[in-house]
């Protein structure tokens, strides 16, 4: 490990001093009656129910029962099931209603991924891994890939109807474009090899080593134990040097225009 340079240590100390000094000045006031809430909640707002939402957002409320998210709506009335439907993601709507509505006025935007993370705990953790799509950096949001109002059925919307890899293809054209030789794994979907939210592995790979390829390209016991055939070709020596795709061999993993073995 590199020793910490003097310049960095000074910067650390200076930063801490500034912070502590600022804190001392700020804490000079004693008692307060402010209320803070954990994001993405809306301070001072209360739940109003979907009927209130329907006054302005009639189509969205009407369509809600068609969405996958309708599954998480628990039927019933009263405090026990408050915050269902629209407000389960967009937050309590009383202040939004009082303000007469308006884009972003006292309402949690659909682009605020923190709202999704209230339920999708595992995805929040995955976005915190070393390699991840830049959601927490704010460059894209969950809605860049997922339609939270999307219907259970194959809704014929957008330019691609519900076809495999269509979501990824909107940004990753180079990987999903037609090649002269295709890699059949793409028929199974990008998620065959990639953990699309986040991974400890580079390129969001599900497995970083030869297991990734051998999952599908395993060959019935051929040769002596320890000898690994892929089809009729003995790969034993190659597997010792690295991974099929990263050892400079089958580098055109998404498809090739020139080599049927996806080598270039």
Partner 1 sequence: MKALAILFLCGVAALARAETSTNELGLTISPGIRYVTVSGDERKFREDWQIKDNWAGGVEDAAFQHSLGNGWQLNMDGRAIFDEEDYRIQLEIVKPEVGFVRGGFTEFRTYDDDTGGFYRGFTPSSFGLDRDLKLSHGDFFVELGLTLPDAPKIIVGYERQFRNGQKALLEWGSVTQGLTTRKVYPSYKDIDETVDIIRLQIEHTIKNVHLGDQFRYERYDTDTTRFDATPAKTVAIRENYRHDAFYNTFVMDSHCTEKMYWSLGYLFATVDGNGGLALATVPFNAPFDKNWFTRAVSSEVDSHVVNLNLSYGPFSNFFIYAGVQAEKTKSDGFTDAILTELAGGGVTNSPAALIHTRNDKDSLEETFGVRYTGLPYTTLYAEGRWAEQWIDLTERETEDAVLNLQRETDTQVFRQDYRAGFNCSPFKRITWSGRYRHAIYDNDYDHEADNTAGYPAFIDTQRFITDEFMTKLTYRACREFTVSLQYQLASTDTDTGTEAISGLGIPAGKIRSANYDSNIYSISATLTPISRMYITALVSYQDTRTKAFDNSADSVVTYKGNVVSVLGTVGYALDKKSDATVEYSYTHACNAQANAASGLPLGVDNQRHAILAGLSRKLTDNMIARLRYGFYYLDDNSDGGVNNYKAHLFSATCTLKF
Instruction: Tell me which residue of 152, 151, 169 sits closest to 160, measured CA to CA.
Output: 169
Residue 181: beta bridge partners?
A: 256
Q: What is the closest distance, in whole angstroms, from the C-beta atom of residue 210 to partner 1 in the complex?
A: 5
First to last CA, the chain: 38
Instruction: Extract the tokens encoding 139.
Output: 């460059």
Pick from 104, 102, 128, 101: nearest CA to 40: 104
What sign for the dihedral angle of Cα 18, 21, 24, 25? negative
Instruction: Give the shortest CB-112-to-partner 1 separation in angstroms.
Output: 14
CB of 50 to partner 1, least distance (A): 14
Nearer to partner 1, 94 or 206 (CB): 206
- Residue 108's contacts (CB-CB under 8 Å, 6 or more residues apart) are 40, 42, 89, 90, 91, 115
Q: Which is nearer to partner 1, 99 or 222 (CB)?
A: 222
Residue whose CB is less far from partner 1, 51 or 153: 153
Query: Residues 206-236, buried b or exposed e (16+ Cβ, 10 A)?
Result: eeeebebbbeeeeeeeeeeeeebebeeeebe
Smallest gap from residue 138 Cβ to partner 1 (A):
9
**C-beta closer to partner 1: residue 98 or 152:** 152
Cβ-based nearer residue to partner 1, 30 or 51:
30
In the complex, least distance from residue 71 CB atom to partner 1, rounded to whole angstroms: 5
């Amino acid at each position: 490990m590199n020793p910490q340079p003097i310049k960095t240590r000074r910067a650390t100390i200076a930063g801490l001093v500034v912070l502590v000094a600022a804190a001392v000045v700020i804490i000079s006031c004693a008692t307060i009656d402010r209320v803070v809430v954990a994001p993405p909640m809306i301070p001072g707002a209360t739940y109003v129910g979907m009927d209130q939402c329907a006054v302005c957002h009639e189509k969205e409320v009407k369509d809600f029962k068609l969405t996958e998210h309708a599954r998480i709506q628990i039927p019933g009335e009263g405090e026990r099931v408050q915050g269902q439907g629209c407000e389960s993601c967009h937050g309590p709507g009383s202040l939004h209603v009082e303000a007469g509505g308006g884009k972003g006025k006292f309402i949690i935007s659909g682009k605020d991924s923190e709202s999704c993370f209230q339920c999708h705990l595992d995805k929040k953790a995955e976005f915190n891994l070393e390699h991840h799509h830049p959601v927490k950096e704010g460059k894209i949001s969950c809605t860049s890939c997922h339609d939270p109002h999307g219907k259970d059925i194959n809704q014929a919307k957008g330019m691609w109807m519900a076809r495999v890899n269509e979501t990824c293809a909107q940004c990753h054209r180079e990987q999903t474009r037609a090649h002269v030789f295709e890699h059949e794994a793409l028929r199974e979907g990008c998620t065959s090899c990639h953990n699309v939210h986040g991974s400890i592995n580079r390129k969001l790979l599900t497995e970083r080593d030869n297991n990734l390829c051998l999952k599908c390209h395993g060959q019935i016991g051929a040769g002596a134990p320890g000898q690994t055939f892929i089809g009729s070709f003995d790969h034993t020596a190659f597997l010792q040097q690295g991974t099929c795709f990263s050892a400079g061999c089958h580098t055109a993993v998404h498809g090739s225009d020139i080599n049927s073995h996806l080598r270039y």
